[in-house]
Structure 1
């Protein structure tokens, strides 16, 4: 038996249970320490991007969007899926910012990468910091996006809302609190990592499935 931290969790077998438009569910048979094996359900996902957009008044852009699984509207960051195989995440972030808020940004940096719920899904989200905001023409919204409420609040208020439980979306919490931590360390004008920083956990399984 291997020492803790050294076991290889090899996949012995894998079967697809469901394949849809934005997720697939597979069941892997995984080698466990001690010679046993166990089934692990894995939800494959495209991956996504989100944007912490801060204007020149130091107000952060939030959207209020209906989320059917919870049956209510949530305060969130502008965000969306990586729509195309191999799509550049920064291009996706700029697109989602434009589509959901009618804004463009002059300055971008990588704020934080989030593995959403690694116990059962490979879904991961890259959160960008965007500044130098300008208004642009917003495409006609569809579906839930046609009901979006857009709000700008001071960054400090966004942090307070997060800590008060008024913002519960995991990506929004990660982005808002990461910005607060970055500023606490480096000051108000702080920026994140380079936009092309390595994204180790970017999901690929669902895209490979599509290409196959």
Structure 2
């Protein structure tokens, strides 16, 4: 069976030259198969969740915001960092959908899990499929910083697939989510996806 498996090579030394509020940099000396040691520098990250919210017309709810490292305003899925230790990823995803799009969903499934850049970061992302959409209730989230200029749109899934393959959309969570949902719909459909509380070995969580 083709399946990723957990494995950990010997680490002779580990340093943390930088630690920010959420992310840091780890510098490890790792033992190679030939007995030598090599330094591996990588970003440490608490993990993230994202929501592919699909309405009855098979349109995907998108948000657009400025991303300074790449100097672009990108179309993305509602998403956020797991900045509360031990938080249930589903609860975090529901919060992000509310805060970024003032939206709620009646049905949730796990769409796909992935590492953003496993050669240089330990960030793990879980994308949820949210359906049965409706407007949220209560006061809107008080946005600040780059979130003040968030735009929203609903775009047909088929159109998004074409835009991804044409190289017009670049956010990895959006690309992964759109292609994963397209594959799921061509196969067993949403009911064939994992339940919203499915185990996530990369980021274990409680109830």
Q: 2: distance between equivalents of 1:57 and 1:116?
A: 30
Contact 1:99 1:139 in 2 (8 A): yes
Q: CA deviation at 1:42?
A: 2.0
Contact 1:109 1:191 in 2 (8 A): no
Contact 2:65 2:146 in 1 (8 A): yes
- 1:14-163 equivalences under 5 Å are 14-136=14-136, 137=138, 138-163=140-165
Seen in structure 2, the aligned counterparts of structure 1 residues 8 and 158 have a Cα distance that, compared at 3 Å, is closer
TM normalised by structure 1 equals 0.89
Match of 1:210? none
Match of 2:167? 165
Q: CA deviation at 1:157?
A: 0.9
Contact 1:50 1:77 in 2 (8 A): yes
Q: 1: distance between equivalents of 2:172 and 2:204?
A: 18
Seen in structure 2, the aligned counterparts of structure 1 residues 132 and 67 have a Cα distance that, compared at 3 Å, is same
How many residues are matched?
198
Equivalent of 1:182 in 177, 181, 184: 184
Contact 1:18 1:24 in 2 (8 A): yes
Q: Which runs of 4+ in 1 moved over 3 A?
A: none
Contact 2:67 2:73 in 1 (8 A): yes
Contact 2:22 2:83 in 1 (8 A): no
Q: 1: distance between equivalents of 2:55 and 2:48?
A: 23
SS at 2:98 equivalent = helix
The answer for unaligned runs of 5 or more in structure 2 is 1-6
Q: CA RMSD in A?
A: 1.8
Q: 2: distance between equivalents of 1:145 and 1:108?
A: 25
Deviations for 1:6-29, whole angstroms, at most 9, x for unmatched residues? x96211111111010121111101
Q: 2: distance between equivalents of 1:99 and 1:169?
A: 19
Q: 2: distance between equivalents of 1:143 and 1:9?
A: 40
Match of 2:3? none
Match of 1:201? 202
Match of 1:192? 193
SS at 2:143 equivalent = coil
Q: CA deviation at 1:140?
A: 2.2
SS at 1:29 equivalent = strand
Q: 2: distance between equivalents of 1:161 and 1:78?
A: 18
